[in-house]
Structure 1
Amino acid sequence: MVELCKQFTSLTDDEIEELLKVISYWETEAVAPDADVFVDVFNEIKKNALVVYHRTPLSKPSMYDHAVVGLDALMENEPGVLRTMQLGINSIGLIALSQEGKLIRQSIYPIKYGAKVIGTLIIETDGSIPSDENETSIEAIIDTNYITDDFIINQLSENVLVFDAKGILLSANAGAKELYRRLGYRNNIIGMSYDNLTLDYVTFDYIKFKIERESGNWSIDSESKYLHYYFVIKHSWIALRERLVVVVQDVTEFKRREEELVLKSVAIQEMHHRVKNNLQSIVSLLKIQERRAKHGETKKVLQDSVSRIMAIASTHELLSKQMENYTLLEQTLTMIVHNFHHIFANYKDVKICLQVDSEVYITTDQVVAVSVIVNELLQNVFDHAYNDRQGGNVTVVGKLVNSTIFIEVSDDGSGFDISAVNEDSLGMMIIKGYVKDKLKGKLKIESDGNGTRVSFRFRYDVTM
Structure 2
Amino acid sequence: MISWKDSLDKETDLYPTQQALLLQFSERLSFGKAISEQGVSLLVQAKDGHLLLSGALDSRHTGTVQKLDIPLEHPIQQILDTGKPFAGLLEWEEETDSGITVETYHAYIYPIVDNGGKCIGACAFTNPVSEVYSNRYDEFMSMVSQTTFQGMLVPQLQQPELYGGISVLDGIIFFEQDGTILYANRAAKKLGDIFGIDRRIQGTSIYSSTLKVGRIKKALEDRLGTIDEELYGDIALRQVMIPVVLGVRWKRGILVLQDKTELRKRDQQLLVKNSVIKEVHHRVKNNLQSVAGLLRMQSRRSTSEDVKQALQNSIHRIESMALVHEIVSNFDEDYVALRSIIEELWRLLRQGLGSSEQRIDMEYIGEDIIMSSHKASYVSLVMNELFSNLFKHAFKDRIKGQVQVEVRDVRDVGHYDMLHISIRDSGCGLPDDFESTRKSHLGLQIIENLVRNELDGRISWTSKGTGTVVDIWIHKGEEYARLSSR
For residues 212 and 367 of structure 2, the distance between their equivalents in structure 1, rounded to whole angstroms, comes to 38
Counterpart for residue 318 of structure 1: 327
Q: What's the counterpart of residue 364 of structure 2? A: 356
Per-residue deviation, 1:155: 6.8
Deviations, residues 269-291 of structure 1 (Å, cap 9, x unaligned): 44333322221221122234444
Confirm whether residue 408 of structure 1 aligns to residue 422 of structure 2. Answer: yes
* Aligned equivalent of 2:32: none
Alignment of 1:84-103 (within 5 A): none
Rounded to whole Å, the distance in 2 between the matches of 1:196 and 1:315 is: 56
Distance 2:455 2:185 in 1: 47
Larger radius of gyration: 2
Structure-2 change in CA distance of 1:432 and 1:246 (3 Å): farther
Partner of 1:177: 189
Q: Is the 8 A contact 1:163 1:169 kept in 2?
A: yes
Contact 1:329 1:398 in 2 (8 A): no
Q: CA deviation at 1:453?
A: 1.7
Shift in alpha-carbon separation, 1:337–1:206, aligned structure 2, 3 A: closer
Instruction: Answer whether contact 2:235 2:259 (CA < 8 A) is retained.
Output: yes
User: Match of 2:168, SS?
Assistant: coil
CA displacement at 1:255 relative to structure 2: 2.9
Report the counterpart of residue 62 of structure 2 in structure 1: 134
Alignment of 1:33-182 (within 5 A): 130-132=54-56, 133-134=61-62, 145=125, 156-164=168-176, 167-182=179-194
Deviation at residue 195 of structure 1 after TM alignment: 1.5
In 2, Cα distance between equivalents of 1:270 and 1:244: 48
Contact 1:410 1:453 in 2 (8 A): yes
Q: 1:8-54 CA distances to partner (integer Å, 9 max, x unpaired)?
A: xxxxxxxxxxxxxxxxxxxxxxxxxxxxxxxxxxxxxxxxxxxxxxx
User: Could you tell me how far apart the structure 2 residues matched to 1:220 and 1:174 are?
Assistant: 23
Residue 314 of structure 2 corresponds to: 305
1:198-277 aligned within 5 A: 199-202=211-214, 205-206=217-218, 208-210=220-222, 214=223, 219-239=225-245, 244-277=253-286
- What does residue 469 of structure 2 align with? 453
Contact 1:161 1:171 in 2 (8 A): yes
The 1:279–1:187 alpha-carbon spacing in structure 2 relative to 1, beyond 3 Å, is same
Name the amino acid aligned to 1:199. Answer: L
* Alignment CA distance shift 1:219-1:311 (3 Å): same
Residue identity (%): 26
TM-score (norm 2): 0.52
- Between the two proteins, the alignment pairs up a number of residues equal to 323
- Cα RMSD over matched residues? 4.7
Measure the CA separation in 2 of the matches of 1:202 and 1:144.
34
What runs of 5+ residues in structure 2 fail to find an aligned partner?
1-51, 65-122, 128-139, 149-164, 411-416
**Distance in 1 between the 2:454 and 2:170 partners?**
40
C-alpha deviation, 1:451, in angstroms: 1.7
Unaligned regions of 5+ residues in structure 1, if any? 1-127, 137-142
1:416-435 residue CA offsets vs partner (Å, 9 max, x unmatched): 57865746965445445655
State the match for 1:140 in structure 2. none
CA, structure 1 residues 159+311, in 2 after alignment: closer, same or farther (shift >3 Å)?
Answer: same
Tell me, yes or no, if structure 1 residue 393 matches structure 2 residue 401: yes
> In structure 1, how many angstroms separate the alpha carbons of the residues matched to 2:337 and 2:420?
14
Deviation at 1:327, TM superposition (A): 5.3
CA distance in 1, matches of 2:294, 2:53: 71
Partner deviation per Cα, 1:306-327 (whole Å, 9 max, x = no partner): 1100111233333444556565
Q: State the secondary structure of the residue aligned to 2:199.
A: coil
**CA distance 1:287–1:169, shift in 2 (3 Å):** same
Q: 1:155 to 1:261 in 2, by over 3 A?
A: closer
Which residue identity does 1:395 align to in structure 2?
A: V
2: CA distance between counterparts of 1:182 and 1:437?
Answer: 57
Matches within 5 A, 1:423-462: 426-428=442-444, 430-431=446-447, 434=450, 445-456=461-472, 461=483
Structure-2 separation of matches of 1:233 and 1:226: 12
Greater mean alpha carbon deviation, residues 446-455 or residues 390-399: 390-399
- SS across alignment from 1:414: coil
**C-alpha distance in 1 between matches for 2:54 and 2:440:** 62
Q: Provide the C-alpha distance between the structure 2 equivalents of 1:179 and 1:437, rounded to a whole number of angstroms.
A: 55
Aligned-residue offset at 1:264: 4.4
Letter in 1 for 2:466: N
Relative distance call for 1:277 and 1:155 in structure 2 (3 A) is closer
Corresponding residue number in structure 1 for 2:383: 374
1:250 deviation in Å? 2.1
The change in CA–CA distance for 1:208 and 1:392 in structure 2 (over 3 A counts) is closer
What is the CA–CA distance in structure 2 between the aligned matches of 1:381 and 1:154, rounded to whole Å?
58
Q: How far did residue 134 of structure 1 move?
A: 2.5
CA distances 1:85-121 after superposition (whole Å, capped 9, x unpaired): xxxxxxxxxxxxxxxxxxxxxxxxxxxxxxxxxxxxx
Separation (CA, whole Å) in 1 of partners of 2:452 and 2:198: 59
Letter of the 2:280 partner, please give it.
M
Distance 2:409 2:459 in 1: 15
Quote the offset at 1:197 in angstroms.
4.5
> How far apart are 1:246 and its partner, in Å?
1.9
Alpha carbons 1:330, 1:358 under 8 Å: kept: no
Residues 203 and 342 (structure 1), Cα distance of their counterparts in 2 relative to 1, 3 Å cut: closer
Q: Which residue of 2 aligns with 1:192?
A: 204
